[in-house]
Amino acid sequence: MAKISILIDTDIFIDALKGIKSAKELFRAKEIECYCSILSRKELLSKGGLKDSERKKILNMLSRVRVLRIDDDIHRKFFSLTKKYGDRDDLFIDYIIAATAWSKKLPLLTRNRKHFEHIEEITLLPAYEDN
């Protein structure tokens, strides 16, 4: 059986760190290949006041996903999105993540749907319920 590849937004990592069962199971699923943007990695590791134990948990989770760097195609698609949907500083990271999903043809899993649902170029996966 082929693996399902998905791009994971930062909020899914945070849910897993908080112990939300559906998010934790996602990182253990053998049939799912998880990717994330380099900016998600940055967001997770640059949080102020991070304890060593928290940093270790984050790095352990990140070791289970493929971290995607911003390449030329993602860069071009990012500018295309900002041109089409407006250049807003508060959505900068979301547009990079959307451009990554678009460039790599990966569906995006996020619970922060309001930041992405207007972007026609990407596919959003149904979010899990908190549990």
The 10s digit of each residue's pLDDT in 53-106 is 999 999 999 999 999 999 999 999 999 999 999 888 888 899 999 999 999 999
Tokens standing for 71? 């390449």
The 10s digit of each residue's pLDDT in 107-120 is 999 999 999 999 99
In the chain, where does DSSP find H-type helix? Answer: 10-17, 21-28, 38-45, 52-62, 72-85, 92-104
- Given a cut of 80, whether residue 128 has pLDDT beyond it is no
* pTM, full prediction: 0.91
Q: Do strands 32-37 and 4-8 pair parallel, antiparallel, or not at all (unpaired)?
A: parallel
Q: Which domains does the chain have, with CATH numbers?
A: 4-69+105-115 (3.40.50.1010)
